[in-house]
A and B are shown apart, each in its own frame.
Chain A
Amino acid sequence: MRKWLLAIGMVLGLSALAQTGKLEIFSWWAGDEGPALEALIRLYKQKYPGVEVINATVTGGAGVNARAVLKTRMLGGDPPDTFQVHAGMELIGTWVVANRMEDLTFLFRQEGWLQAFPKGLIDLISYKGGIWSVPVNIHRSNVMWYLPAKLKEWGVNPPRTWDEFLATCETLKQKGLEAPLALGENWTQQHLWESVALAVLGPDDWNNLWNGKLRFTDPKAVRVWEVFGRVLDCANKDAAGLSWQQAVDRVVQGKAAFNIMGDWAAGYMTTTLKLKPGTDFAWAPSPGTQGVFMMLSDSFGLPTGAKNRQNAINWLRLVGSKEGQDTFNPLKGSIAARLDSDPRKYNAYGQSAMKDWRSNRIVGSLVHGAVAPESFMSQFGTVMEIFLQTKNPQAAANAAQAIADQVGLGRLGQ
């Protein structure tokens, strides 16, 4: 009997020892984005060769599938050691309020990150006095893409406001361009909406929308839908069937003049379509949003009850370091969240975005999880559908407000 107990004890002890040498990283970076993550993991292995890294990826754009898998795992009490999550309310509204994350303020203090990251970003990832995740990269949402050569041919300039945009759109339509704005499936329409909303409301009221100080039914917010409706009139009618890449293709083929898309479009055009940033294709802040950087960011957090907490903290340390960010981001096609990264490692687009990141006002994106909790975000698609079906700004505004009331938008953000 005693022998048996001893044996069982030894097995248990050994397996505990072995477990300390593991780190499970949960993310949705596979395919095109896989190499960037792998480079980061290689760096981690150089520093901690004893640790076995388990790269648990679940594919699907923007993590649609990964987040569902993560939820079932967390509900089942089996959290990964660290997981990828959009910085901001997507993390806070789902995981932090449910008391499933550890406060990382100590790490930010230790590593001097409070100075290394811009304050606007720290604000977005803070809640109730804590800081809850380590941002690894930054993408920009409010960017308008075009081909300079084509615009020259048509004799138009990139518009700086939505009024200018609508005028340019009329000019282009008269020149026989059926749909001057290229648009894709539902989420890209929401993506366009947030650029329009930022321009119509301005950064202050944009923030007020999310902390509950400005209601969706306020005339100012209803006007967003009116402008959005007119902008949609410039877009292709078969949008629902196109992916964002196909919408970018329309611009590249000269079938459309402009596309509003996050700056992963730069990665697509440079890497996949082999175009040269700055000469073959060019960009500008989406109309009316000059000087504002609408950001979204992937970050890693530390769930409570992580089996390999120390390894996970070491991973977060690497993710937030200059070395880690400058290894990851040039491959991913994003820029570093830190203010001190090395511009020489990035291409022409990255350098320009970096300049804006350091000087612009920073606000968060809705569609990509920074400013609203998932309970609101997931139903914003319904609001969009109501608007597309009825073309009625007031109806869309009412629906948005009803959902905001239902999920308690703004109550969380305090």
Chain B
Amino acid sequence: MRDRILAFSVLLPSLLAVGVFVYGFIGQNLWVSLTDWGKDPAQALALRPELRFVGLENYRELFTGFVDVRFRQSVVNLIFFTLFFMAGSLGLGLLLALAVDRAPKGEGFFRTVFLFPMSLSFVVTGTIWRWMLQPQGGVNVLPTLFGLPPLSFPWLATREQVLVFDWNHLPFYTALAVGLVLLYVAYAAHREGERRRFLWALLSAGVLFLWAFTLGRGLKLLPYPETHGFSLALVGVILAAVWQMSGYTMALYLAGLRGIPVEVLEAARVDGASEWQLFRRIIFPMLAPITLSAMIVLGHIALKIFDLVFAMAGLDYAPTDVPAIYMYLLAFRGNQFAKGAAIGILLLLLVAVVVVPYLASQLRKEVRR
């Protein structure tokens, strides 16, 4: 009993601090996002602003309001940025790790070289890459070193978009994507022989598809078509982010590769496995947990990205906009604090979607032990 009291009293200060400064402020932010703070300029920056409860109005405006078109583009940007940034960092990191792992000598040297960009801050990386991606210099004149004509891609300055879709079709596409995930879950359950899970997943997927192709297509978020897409200006930002973070995934993978017992590999070789089979059946499966944790880390970095975009393109450039930038813009320049808070909550939810299942599964594993 005394031990318990002691333990509790030792924990208490940090519990209190976390309770107030993390969860308290999250709660306050949630409350602000449900008010009209900023609508009335006389209240926006008053010493004691009077806030009125407006429910989910701010969220509705963000997703379907006429003037918040920039927010919607920023969400689309964020999704594409996150996907390509994760894929790029993981892919490049794995390649580097394999190369460094196989290198007969100079391993320590190369490891340091590749890991080094991680020690820079995103602001530094962003500034350097902005210079290098100037349309008339830097990367574009690189080919002239080999006597080739210079590239003419305008990098950050382009306004082109690819994979353009109508925002009105968003519910349809979302349902489709979730449905596909559910199908995969069903497939996995089937293979593991879990009949109940298989049936449930299959059923939900079916319902979702049915909804998507009947009601979902007719649903209109906006009274007019509004196109969004992957802005090519983001390619430069993704490049810089991958450059910075792939060293980190390399280090993770390197540790993973070292963790694979040599006996297993040799046994496989003795059994006549080809090099490809070795990767496919042994190395990749054994690296899977590392890929997962790398994805969590990269994913939450990507979803919260602000400084890199700020340094590379500034606040006012919509083609590279991300929600965090738009949040800052709305709250601290436009005095629209409630709407800014709403974006903050949405970002929190997004990150939670990535992090919470991971934490939960880790926790469950620990309990099982």
User: Is A186 in contact with B154, judged by CB distance below 8 angstroms?
Assistant: no
User: B362 at interface (Cβ–Cβ under 8 A)?
Assistant: no
CB distance from B165 to the nearest CB of A (A): 15
Q: Is B330's CB under 8 angstroms from A378's CB?
A: yes
User: Beyond A241-B135, A382-B69, is A407–B41 a contact (Cβ under 8 Å)?
Assistant: yes
- Chain A residue contacts of B46, Cβ below 8 A: 98-100
- Docked CA distance A75–B130 (Å): 35
Q: Which of A305, A381, A412 contacts B41 (CB 8 A)?
A: A412
With contacts A94-B335, A187-B316, A241-B156 taken as known, whether A403 is within 8 angstroms of B67 at the C-beta atoms is yes
Known: A373-B41, A374-B333, A378-B330. A240 touches B47 (CB 8 A): no
Q: B62-84 CB contact bits vs A (8 Å, 1 = yes)?
A: 00001101100000000000000
Residue from A93, A94, A186 within 8 A of B314 (CB atoms): A186
Kindly list chain B residues whose C-beta atoms are within 8 Å of the C-beta of A64.
315, 333
Q: Is A129 an interface residue (CB 8 A)?
A: no
Kindly provide the distance from the CB of B126 to the nearest chain A CB, expressed in whole angstroms. 13
Q: Does A386 contact B (CB under 8 A)?
A: yes
The residue among A237, A241, A382, A407 with the most chain B CB atoms within 10 A of its own CB is A241
Q: Write the A141-153 contact mask toward B (1 if CB under 8 angstroms, else 0).
A: 0000000000000
* Whole-angstrom CA separation of A163 from B212 in the bound complex: 53
5 contacts between A and B (CB under 8 A): A67-B333, A93-B41, A100-B45, A240-B233, A375-B38
What is the bound-complex CA distance between A402 and B316, given in angstroms?
19
In chain A, positions 393-414 with a C-beta closer than 8 Å to chain B are 398-399, 402-403, 406-408, 412
The 0/1 profile, CB within 8 Å of B marked 1, for residues 37-74 of chain A is: 00000000000000000000000000010011001001
Contact B70 A98 (CB under 8 A): no
Residue of B67, B70, B130, B154 near A238 (CB, 8 A) is: B154
Interface residues on A, range: 35 or more
Closest to A305 in B: B47
Known interface pairs A185-B316, A240-B156; 13 further A-B residue pairs with C-beta atoms within 8 A, sorted by A's residue number:
A71-B332, A98-B42, A98-B46, A99-B42, A99-B46, A185-B317, A186-B314, A239-B157, A240-B157, A375-B41, A378-B329, A381-B329, A402-B67
Q: Is the CB of A98 within 8 A of B44?
A: yes
Contacts of B318 in A (CB 8 A): 381-382, 385, 389
Once A64-B315, A71-B45, A406-B67 are accepted as A-B contacts, the answer to whether A241 and B157 lie under 8 Å apart by CB is yes
Specify which chain B residues have a CB less than 8 angstroms from the CB of A107 in the assembled complex. Answer: none
Say yes or no for A275: interface residue by CB 8 A criterion: no
CB within 8 Å of B: which A76-109 residues? 77, 93-95, 97-100
Tell me, rounded to whole Å, the shortest Cβ–Cβ distance linking B223 to chain A: 13
CB-based contact A186/B329 at 8 Å: no
With a CB–CB cut-off of 8 A, which chain A residues contact B154? 237-238, 241
Pair B45/A381 contact, Cβ less than 8 Å: no
B69 and A378 contact, CB distance less than 8 A: no
Q: Describe A's contact surface by its main secondary structure.
A: helix
**Inter-subunit contact B69/A241 (CB<8 Å):** no
Docked complex Cα distance between A187 and B314 (Å): 11
Q: How far is the CB of B50 from chain A (nearest CB, A)?
A: 11
Q: What CA separation (Å) do A379 and B340 show in the bound complex?
A: 13
Q: Which of B43, B156, B328, B334 contacts A379 (CB 8 A)?
A: B334
* Beta-carbon contact of A374 and B335 below 8 Å: yes
A386 to chain B, nearest CB (A): 7
B336: interface (CB < 8 Å): yes
Quick one: which of B45, B66, B233 contacts A74, CB cutoff 8 A?
B45
Q: Are B317 and A240 touching (Cβ within 8 A)?
A: yes
Whole-angstrom distance between the alpha carbons of A382 and B319 in the complex?
11
**Cβ of A75: which chain B residues have Cβ within 8 Å of it?**
45
Residue B112 is within 8 A (CB to CB) of chain A in the complex: no
**Is A388 an interface residue when CB atoms closer than 8 A count as contact?**
yes
Once bound together, how far apart are the Cα atoms of A382 and B315, in whole Å?
11
Provide the residues of chain B in CB contact with A403, threshold 8 Å: 67
**350-379 of chain A: CB within 8 A of chain B:** 373-375, 377-379
Q: Which of B45, B69, B317, B336 contacts A95 (CB 8 A)?
A: B45
B67 neighbours in A (Cβ, 8 Å): 379, 382, 399, 402-403, 406
Nearest CB on A from B129, distance (A): 12
CA of A186 to CA of B66, assembled, Å: 21
| A377 to B315 Cα, complex, angstroms | 14
Q: Is B29 an interface residue (CB 8 A)?
A: no
**Residue-by-residue, is B324-349 near A (CB-CB < 8 Å gives 1, otherwise 0)?**
00001110111110000000000000
Inter-chain contacts of A305 with B (CB < 8 A): 47
Chain B residue with the shortest CB-CB distance to A72: B332
In the A-B complex, the 3 residue pairs with the closest CB atoms = A378-B334, A385-B318, A186-B316
Cα distance A61–B112 in the bound complex, in angstroms: 37
A406 to B335, CA, bound (A): 13
Inter-chain contact A94/B44, CB cutoff 8 Å: yes
Chain A contacts for B66, CB-based, 8 A: 398-399, 402
Q: Contact: A241 with B134, CB < 8 Å?
A: yes
Contacts of B195 in A (CB 8 A): none
Chain B residues with CB under 8 A of A99: 42, 46-47
Nearest CB to that of B47 among chain A residues? A77
Q: Please report the C-alpha to C-alpha distance between residue A100 and residue B41 in the assembled complex, in whole angstroms.
A: 12
Chain B residues positioned under 8 Å from A378 (CB to CB): 329-330, 333-335
A226 to B165 Cα, complex, angstroms: 27
Give the docked Cα–Cα distance between A401 and B70 (Å): 16
Contact partner, B157, options A97, A100, A237, A398, Cβ 8 Å: A237
Residues A238 and B315 in contact, CB atoms below 8 Å apart: no
Known contacts A187-B316, A402-B67, A403-B67; A98/B332 CB under 8 A: no
Residues of chain B contacted by A385 (CB below 8 angstroms): 70, 317-318
CA distance A386 to B319 in the complex (A): 11
**Across the interface, which residues of B come within 8 angstroms of A97, CB to CB?**
41-42
Closest beta carbon of chain A to B338's beta carbon, Å: 12
Q: Are B157 and A98 in contact (CB under 8 A)?
A: no
Q: How far is the CA of A94 from the CA of B41 in the complex (A)?
A: 6
> Does B159 make an interface contact (CB < 8 A)?
yes
Q: Which residues A224-252 have CB closer than 8 A to chain B?
A: 237-241
- Mark out the residues of chain B between 25 and 49 whose CB falls within 8 Å of any chain A CB in the assembled complex: 38, 41-47
* Chain B nearest Cβ from A287, distance in angstroms: 25
Cα–Cα, bound, A359→B320 (Å): 44
Contact with A along B127-148 (1 / 0, CB 8 A): 0001001111000000000000
Within 8 A of A (CB), among B241-284: none
Residues of B within 8 A of A407 (CB): 41
Determine the chain A residues whose CB is within 8 A of the CB of B38 once the complex forms: 375
Chain A residues, CB < 8 A from B45 = 71, 74-75, 94-95, 98, 100
A-facing residues in B105-125 (Cβ within 8 Å): none
